[in-house]
């Protein structure tokens, strides 16, 4: 078989170009540190790199979202702590105002501060996060949640939604609480029942009441009236009547006022699994209402306290009424403080869960990056050895080309 001079040169050049291409590829691998430069280098490895890269990107996004969640929960925690401090101050003012040594002007001065604290509380409830969104608006994050109506009441314009963020492949976390859940869903009274007085003319003052048998109380949900009468022995006595259940004390069939048990200041009145204690002297016809607790927003509690302090006290009956209203406010404030503490504990729990998930995400990132390195990173020792071999091969191809060029017959013709 004859091989032409041009064919020999072409083969030699092709061999050198292939060696140069391999050498250039190895040099590029060494400079980038990447084993796979194009998918054709390792199709399976290239797909693994894409999958692992996507996992790293997604997990990194979870981490950034967790940072956002932490900032928002931290802002809510600060607002709740401010609310707690404010309510504790209002409670101190209520205790101070409940002292009989204070003058009406002293109580009015306290009422002024209570109303200032109410305005401050509305401001806290309208707190913003770092993005300028309202913390307690629910899903309506751009709508101011709380505003003061013309009648002085505080109204809520948000919704019941609880925003959540994805912080893991299978983990979402709530990053806030609605204003309704924080400031409105507070049980009044002692949390089980609430005591209110009617238009009384006596001086009886009620305590918050005690639950003796929760099951019995739950089995008889009703609004009860403790009414003071004169019994058959001419004594000041009391009757307890349910709005739907009828006479409770005295029990049927002895339900007439003449059969009513005598009242004694400071003695407990027990019925339907609860206990109510009154001190002072009620007038015949005076009434105290005992009803199951319901939700009462914190703003209404503070407003009621301020109104009670502003009310004129012209006689012992009015003083007793004021004491009852202040006592009721103190009980409601205790419920509000406990409620805010519970909400704050929930925020703390979510922050702890956030830290745990973030640590899990970090471990996932570390593991995935290690796998990616195994697939994509270059073995430098092997690559440098290969580079040296390719340099030798290229040099040999170049020397061979020079030798082949000298085999032409034209070089032998003189």
pLDDT in tens, 60-83: 999 999 999 999 999 999 999 999
Note whether 211 and 274 are within 8 A (CB). Answer: yes
- How far is the C-alpha of 111 from the C-alpha of 224, rounded, in Å? 32
Structure tokens belonging to residue 254: 């002895």
Indicate if the alpha-carbon torsion angle 74, 80, 86, 88 is positive or negative. negative
Categorise residue 280: left if φ over 0, alpha if ψ from -120 to 50, beta otherwise: left
As annotated, the residues of the chain forming the CATH 1.20.1330.10 domain(s) are 53-187+332-365
For the chain, which residues score pLDDT lower than 70?
A: 1-42, 45-46, 49, 372-373, 375-414
Decide the pairing of beta strands 274-279 and 164-168.
unpaired
User: Mapping DSSP to helix (H, G, I), strand (E, B) and coil, where does residue 162 land?
Assistant: coil
User: Mapping DSSP to helix (H, G, I), strand (E, B) and coil, where does residue 387 land?
Assistant: helix
- How far is the C-alpha of 90 from the C-alpha of 117, rounded, in Å? 7
User: Mapping DSSP to helix (H, G, I), strand (E, B) and coil, where does residue 92 land?
Assistant: helix
Largest CA distance in the chain: 158
User: Mapping DSSP to helix (H, G, I), strand (E, B) and coil, where does residue 276 land?
Assistant: strand
Note whether 247 and 255 are within 8 A (CB). Answer: yes
Supply the pTM of this predicted model: 0.82
User: Mapping DSSP to helix (H, G, I), strand (E, B) and coil, where does residue 104 land?
Assistant: helix
- CATH code, 53-187+332-365: 1.20.1330.10
The predicted-structure confidence for 300-347, as pLDDT tens digits, reads as follows 999 999 999 999 998 999 999 999 999 999 999 999 999 999 999 999
Closest CA to 160 of 135, 142, 177, 144: 177
User: Mapping DSSP to helix (H, G, I), strand (E, B) and coil, where does residue 125 land?
Assistant: helix
The dihedral formed by the CA atoms of 41, 43, 45 and 47, expressed in degrees to the nearest 10? 130
pLDDT value, residue 367: 87
pLDDT value, residue 369: 78
CA 188 to chain centre: 23
- How far is the C-alpha of 241 from the C-alpha of 269, rounded, in Å? 13
Closest CA to 188 of 81, 88, 292: 292
Stated as kind and residue range, the H or E segment containing 227 is: strand 224-230
Structure tokens belonging to residue 320: 């007793």
Note whether 388 and 19 are within 8 A (CB). Answer: no
pLDDT value, residue 16: 64
Decide the pairing of beta strands 146-148 and 154-156.
antiparallel
């Amino acid at each position: 078989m004859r091989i032409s001079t041009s064919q020999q040169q072409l083969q030699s050049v092709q061999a050198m170009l292939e060696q140069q291409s391999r050498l250039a590829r190895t040099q590029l691998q060494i400079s980038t540190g990447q084993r796979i430069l194009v998918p054709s280098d390792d199709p399976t490895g290239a797909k693994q790199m894409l999958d692992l890269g996507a996992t790293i990107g997604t997990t990194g996004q979870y981490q950034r979202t967790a940072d956002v969640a932490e900032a928002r929960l931290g802002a809510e925690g600060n607002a709740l702590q401010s609310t707690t401090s404010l309510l504790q101050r209002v409670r101190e003012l209520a205790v101070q105002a409940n002292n009989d040594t204070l003058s009406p002007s002293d109580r009015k001065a306290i009422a002024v501060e209570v109303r200032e604290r109410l305005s401050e509380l509305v401001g806290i409830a309208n707190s913003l996060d770092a993005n300028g969104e309202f913390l307690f608006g629910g899903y309506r994050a751009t709508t101011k949640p709380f505003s003061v109506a013309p009648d002085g009441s505080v109204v809520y314009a948000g919704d019941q939604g609880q925003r959540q963020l994805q912080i893991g492949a299978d983990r979402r976390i709530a990053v806030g609480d609605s204003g309704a859940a924080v400031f409105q869903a507070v049980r009044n009274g002692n949390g089980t029942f609430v005591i209110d007085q009617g238009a009384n003319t006596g001086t009886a003052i009620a305590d918050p009441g005690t639950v003796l048998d929760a099951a019995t109380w739950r089995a008889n949900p009703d609004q009860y009236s403790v009414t003071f009468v004169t019994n058959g022995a001419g004594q000041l006595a009391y009757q307890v009547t349910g709005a739907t259940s009828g006479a409770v004390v005295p029990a049927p069939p002895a339900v007439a006022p003449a059969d009513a048990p005598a009242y004694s200041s400071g003695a407990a009145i027990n019925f339907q699994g609860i206990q109510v204690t009154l001190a002072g002297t009620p007038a015949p016809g005076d009434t105290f209402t005992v009803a199951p607790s319901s939700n009462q927003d914190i703003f209404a509690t503070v407003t009621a306290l301020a109104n009670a302090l502003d009310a004129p006290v012209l006689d012992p009956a009015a003083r007793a009424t004021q004491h009852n209203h202040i006592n009721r406010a103190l009980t409601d404030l205790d419920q509000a403080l406990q409620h805010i503490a519970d909400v704050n504990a929930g925020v703390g729990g979510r922050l702890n869960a956030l830290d745990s998930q973030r640590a899990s995400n970090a471990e996932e990132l570390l593991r995935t990056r290690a796998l990616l390195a195994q697939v994509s990173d270059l073995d430098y020792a092997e690559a440098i050895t290969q580079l040296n071999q390719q340099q030798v091969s290229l040099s040999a191809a170049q020397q061979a080309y020079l030798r082949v060029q000298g085999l032409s017959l034209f070089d032998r013709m003189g």
